[in-house]
Structure 1
């Protein structure tokens, strides 16, 4: 009943009014009819219902197998036997979907359909009930709804129509008139009510329909305003409301589209920003790990947050996982406790600082580290940790020390070279003059020894200045030749083995494919002699002296020796197992006149001379030593691709008086001495005090001059420029260059331009005559 009431409530208002009024009228007439008929029908109703139920139950039992097996034929036979009874109007079997499965009735099928009222409400109710009855008094028809079940499963319904017309035949005549009148009145009232309701409630129904359209999103719907009463006013306002909603919807769609477009644009910008941020993070992380400086980031509590690959390399950390999540303040992170203690101190203080500290890699190996600290700032610029920038400056410090030493030695070399130059000019006057005086006093037994004493003293002074010049990098004016350093070392090894103590073991590890060098052989022997004697002096109780050679090719990316240009070099090592040297001695080892030996054992010029000779060949010398661990001197000399030439020279015969010589020197005393000496030998002499005069004199007496003796260092115009001017007019004109000292660069430039003959001041008469004769005969 509740379902029926709810269904009625969902009907339109007009239908509800019609139904309500019809029900009221029906109830009034029904009360009268029921009162009249109750007494007559009650007695037989019970018997009739009992009989109808029994028939229906029997049919349900018969219909169940037919439904299960879809056996319509047998079911129709059974139904036909039941409808043979005169009071059975029809029998119908419905399946589980309430569809007619089988039926039987004396009347035709269409008539049966009119008789059978398939009440959907009863069909739903019978699923849960044992049976249901429905009376149709107007047709004297009782309908029985009997469910077909098995094991609680609903399979269908047996609908039985029982005619009890014979029971009411008498009462029908009595109530027919009243029933007819009542029905007509009810229909008339219902029709009237329906018309009035439709007229009054039609605008309301339109409003309901419009509301339904709006709820579905149709804002184009409009109500027809046909009335001027309250319902017409309501319809007009409803239309205005829909128009505003339409405007709001249009604006909302525009805003939604703009919002969607902005959202997509924003999403694209977010994706782009995210991709850029990820790329920046990757680049920063790559830079962080590839930067050639160690980086360490710790929190204020000491936890290690970040560290890069260079830090692991600088500190030689074998297990880098040991640093991850380690605490600098609470546990031992680094092997060097002093180093970690300093980092802890700075972390607690949260200060910016720069300091240098030694880091022990092992018991015998240390690194000098430069550490710069910077607080890591968080919100409100508060320090939340520390950044440590750690750089290995061991090599840099060593290079600075070497550079300072090189610059100091070069400055001292320039000073020594200037002094030696002037001193050699003086000796160049004294030595030939003494030799000429000795020749003229050959018969004076008393004076000759005195002149020889002057000659010997001058020679010793010349040796001293030669050593000074070697230090000054200007002693490259000797005889240049191509030779193999291994041959020189073997000869020198045999020679020095005869003079040193037998408790010194002399060894050699020589590269058999060693490249050749081009140098003054005597100077290289001098280097070996000085280094070897120093090594012997450092091993008073015996030891090992080792000579080692090898080839070395330096390129830009591989060169660890900034003093050398890229190229091929011959490497020579002289190693001893002596007493070694302290750092203080190493810093001054190449200073002239500095010695760690006793006064009677050294002058302090040996290693200075070695340094100067090596630098004059554009080479490099390095030394490493520790007290008690011996010393190692390493020399790098430029290699040459030229092959060794076998020289079979023959003695030259001087021809005094044959040649005409132009003497060019800014020292007047030296020119006067040379003129006197060469005139004595019957040479014809021209004089010039500088290069400019020499050029002018050559241009004037070109065909009267056979050879030029040219000083290199002169005012106004030096020997290099003067020779260049002369060679422009007369290529390959014989010139002998002479100097007490000249920078190595000038010697290199002279050789590059073709100069072959050099005479070092001071020189003896025979040396001067010999080189003049060689030069002229070669030309």
Structure 2
């Protein structure tokens, strides 16, 4: 038998004086009991060693966990159901503005400022009630800055709660910074004057700004997260190639194309595009800017047209000037012959025909000069209502198939114009309207006082201010874009050969331009045409024209005739001498100054040509004025009364006569000055 366990040995000794002398029949039982005692000791010893080891490991693990809590950014609380802190872990106790040893036993809603306590109480109640996590955010203002926190409350056993509190100030600051940045960009997009649209990589619209709605008409709810094809057919291929650049990661700007609006109106746009990418750098879509340049294109076209017309007008004016000089020679010689021929002579009628042809030729050059912007004849403050009413009634009497409607504003402002030229413009408009309505129709005439700003007048290089508008509208066949773009070009006509010169509307354009106004045309095939004329107002009072009788006025004074054309010098000298004047002829400006220097005391009047090589009329005038301040001068020109001649009239020249002139016209002008 192995060594007996001490506890068994004491028990046997109590019953048997010698524990080893127990009855033989009990020896097996005693041996088993002894083994059990010994095994129990072994188990207890092993358990004690195990418990000792576990305690050490547990203390070590607890120390490690505490170290983790110390560096962890969160604060951990174990709370009872009332919110009392049972335990606390974490190293950011400075966020609570309280020392760690004073946390245990406190209520968690007493640690922040009082205003936040109620939020914690409500969160604790909600956590216990729902048995689910509850989150809340709150802020505490410190001495230097405001700290933001997030608290998450989780239910635990025995109606306890685990509260995890994290300082989210940096995150909040980053969120606010991002929010402010996004707001700035949003405002840039929202208040951008140009339409902006954002597409994803599939061409789906994900954003449009208010300018897009304003220009194109579609509202966000109508097109967001949809595809929109509003590119006119003729522009699609070019635009598709351009957008391929964006897919390759290339941006572009200033690409001119067209778009249609919700109402079907085609507008010109300047398109710019940029790529936008996702967080991984992959192409995610495009940002497109669509600047409406319709008005800019219109202004550019009008400016180009105005410059073209100015260039053509300069050429036309030069031709008209030279032609007028030729007509002056023809008219002068015809007048000389008529003075010597009695009315019953055989060639008298032929000479009258020559005068009539000269008159018709002069009318043609008058239209050319009107187009060439080469000046006005005789301007004065005029009532346009009176002018429109008078000549429209006259036209209406000859064209009964046209019904004329007049809408003339009462008290229309006076304008400073040459009434004859404006009547010519209006008549050209009426005739054009009549020809556009071969089966008859309606002609609407409107006058109105308007104020025009600099933007509208920029292509015409005119000043902003008060203008009078005349609108002439017909119900005729209208014009397509090709005809409309050339309607003011000289010699352009859609009429058959021999039925139009193509100068009517071009001269109208020039006359209005020369009166510091402008003219516009609006027309579509089948929808009629509207010509709109704008003329600046006059600050002067209205005046009436007193016609002179058509007769020859003789005289005996001495006249110096200065011109560079020998033909004009010869015929004019003969005509003036025929009706009694003494004439000294000077070929060119320099010779005219020399002659006047020697003979100015006996010269009563100088007839001075404006356009001469070398020394022109303006320079001759300066020299004559120095030689004799009271010199009397009648200006003559193949051009009409342009700005240069007008300035000389303001400086002291007594009159102006346009070539070709008749002996009657010339003699009347001379007597007006000398008498």
TM over 0.5: yes
**Which stretch shows the higher mean deviation, 487-496 or 615-624?**
487-496
Structure 1 alignment gaps of length 5 or more: 1-215, 217-259
- 2:330 aligned to 430, 434, 449, which one? 430
Q: Which residue of 1 aligns with 2:308?
A: 408
Alignment partner of 1:368 is 2:268: yes
Could you tell me whether the CA contact under 8 Å between 2:306 and 2:459 is conserved in 1? no
Distance 1:706 1:656, change over 3 A: same
SS in structure 2 opposite 1:586?
helix
In 1, the alpha carbon distance for the partners of 2:175 and 2:596 equals 83
Q: Which residue of 1 aligns with 2:432?
A: 534
Alignment partner of 1:505 is 2:403: yes
1:235-254 maps to which residues of 2 (within 5 A)? none
Residues 667-701 of structure 1 show CA distances to partners (whole Å, capped at 9, x for unaligned) of: 12211221222122221223333334433433433
1:665-704 maps to which residues of 2 (within 5 A)? 665-704=563-602
Could you tell me whether the CA contact under 8 Å between 1:370 and 1:392 is conserved in 2? yes
Alignment partner of 1:311 is 2:212: yes
In 2, the alpha carbon distance for the partners of 1:275 and 1:682 equals 101
Alignment partner of 1:417 is 2:317: yes
Could you tell me whether the CA contact under 8 Å between 1:347 and 1:386 is conserved in 2? no
Distance 1:286 1:448, change over 3 A: same
Residues 211-263 of structure 1 show CA distances to partners (whole Å, capped at 9, x for unaligned) of: xxxxx9xxxxxxxxxxxxxxxxxxxxxxxxxxxxxxxxxxxxxxxxxxx99xx
Could you tell me whether the CA contact under 8 Å between 1:339 and 1:359 is conserved in 2? no
Distance 1:452 1:338, change over 3 A: closer
In 2, the alpha carbon distance for the partners of 1:443 and 1:678 equals 21
In 2, the alpha carbon distance for the partners of 1:464 and 1:306 equals 62
Q: Which residue of 2 aligns with 1:293?
A: 194
In 2, the alpha carbon distance for the partners of 1:344 and 1:408 equals 35
- 2:499 aligned to 588, 601, 609, which one? 601
Distance 1:628 1:433, change over 3 A: same
Quote the offset at 1:445 in angstroms: 1.9
Quote the offset at 1:642 in angstroms: 0.9
Bigger helix share = 1
In 2, the alpha carbon distance for the partners of 1:571 and 1:686 equals 49
In 2, the alpha carbon distance for the partners of 1:440 and 1:397 equals 63
1:462-477 maps to which residues of 2 (within 5 A)? 462-476=362-376
SS in structure 2 opposite 1:453?
helix
1:638-649 maps to which residues of 2 (within 5 A)? 638-646=536-544
**Which stretch shows the higher mean deviation, 657-666 or 371-380?**
371-380
Quote the offset at 1:358 in angstroms: 3.7
In 2, the alpha carbon distance for the partners of 1:450 and 1:423 equals 22
In 2, the alpha carbon distance for the partners of 1:729 and 1:491 equals 48
Residues 563-610 of structure 1 show CA distances to partners (whole Å, capped at 9, x for unaligned) of: 432122111000001111111111111111111122343221111111
1:343-422 maps to which residues of 2 (within 5 A)? 350=247, 352=251, 354-363=255-264, 365-376=265-276, 382-422=282-322
Could you tell me whether the CA contact under 8 Å between 1:421 and 1:741 is conserved in 2? yes
In 2, the alpha carbon distance for the partners of 1:773 and 1:270 equals 99
1:700-719 maps to which residues of 2 (within 5 A)? 700-719=598-617
Residues 405-464 of structure 1 show CA distances to partners (whole Å, capped at 9, x for unaligned) of: 222222221111111111111111110111101212337722323333332222222222
Residues 286-345 of structure 1 show CA distances to partners (whole Å, capped at 9, x for unaligned) of: 44444433222323244545443332222123x34445xx22xxx244777969988888
Q: Which residue of 1 aligns with 2:130?
A: none
Quote the offset at 1:760 in angstroms: 0.7
SS in structure 1 opposite 2:584?
strand
Residues 700-740 of structure 1 show CA distances to partners (whole Å, capped at 9, x for unaligned) of: 33322222111111122221232244345555632211111
- 1:555 aligned to 453, 468, 485, which one? 453
Distance 1:299 1:436, change over 3 A: same
Distance 1:284 1:759, change over 3 A: farther
Q: Which residue of 2 aligns with 1:492?
A: 391
Q: Which residue of 2 aligns with 1:772?
A: 670
Q: Which residue of 2 aligns with 1:620?
A: 518
1:329-348 maps to which residues of 2 (within 5 A)? 331-333=226-228
Residues 455-491 of structure 1 show CA distances to partners (whole Å, capped at 9, x for unaligned) of: 2222222222122111112251x22222100011111
Alignment partner of 1:544 is 2:450: no
SS in structure 2 opposite 1:759?
strand
Q: Which residue of 2 aligns with 1:610?
A: 508
**Which stretch shows the higher mean deviation, 660-669 or 613-622?**
660-669
SS in structure 1 opposite 2:211?
helix
Could you tell me whether the CA contact under 8 Å between 1:506 and 1:544 is conserved in 2? yes
Could you tell me whether the CA contact under 8 Å between 2:203 and 2:227 is conserved in 1? no
In 2, the alpha carbon distance for the partners of 1:644 and 1:454 equals 38
Distance 1:383 1:688, change over 3 A: farther
In 2, the alpha carbon distance for the partners of 1:695 and 1:489 equals 46
Could you tell me whether the CA contact under 8 Å between 2:588 and 2:615 is conserved in 1? yes
In 2, the alpha carbon distance for the partners of 1:652 and 1:733 equals 27
Alignment partner of 1:461 is 2:461: no
Structure 2 alignment gaps of length 5 or more: 1-100, 102-142, 148-169
SS in structure 1 opposite 2:346?
coil
Q: Which residue of 2 aligns with 1:580?
A: 478
SS in structure 2 opposite 1:574?
strand
TM-score using structure 1 length: 0.59
In 1, the alpha carbon distance for the partners of 2:256 and 2:183 equals 31
Q: Which residue of 2 aligns with 1:452?
A: 352
Distance 1:280 1:704, change over 3 A: farther
Larger Rg: 1
Quote the offset at 1:643 in angstroms: 0.9
Alignment partner of 1:521 is 2:419: yes
1:631-642 maps to which residues of 2 (within 5 A)? 631-642=529-540
Residues 605-636 of structure 1 show CA distances to partners (whole Å, capped at 9, x for unaligned) of: 11111111111111101101000000000011
1:175-254 maps to which residues of 2 (within 5 A)? none
Distance 1:646 1:541, change over 3 A: closer
Residues 483-541 of structure 1 show CA distances to partners (whole Å, capped at 9, x for unaligned) of: 10001111123212211133x22101111021001111111111111100111111122
In 2, the alpha carbon distance for the partners of 1:455 and 1:366 equals 55
Quote the offset at 1:400 in angstroms: 2.6
In 2, the alpha carbon distance for the partners of 1:369 and 1:653 equals 64
Distance 1:301 1:451, change over 3 A: closer
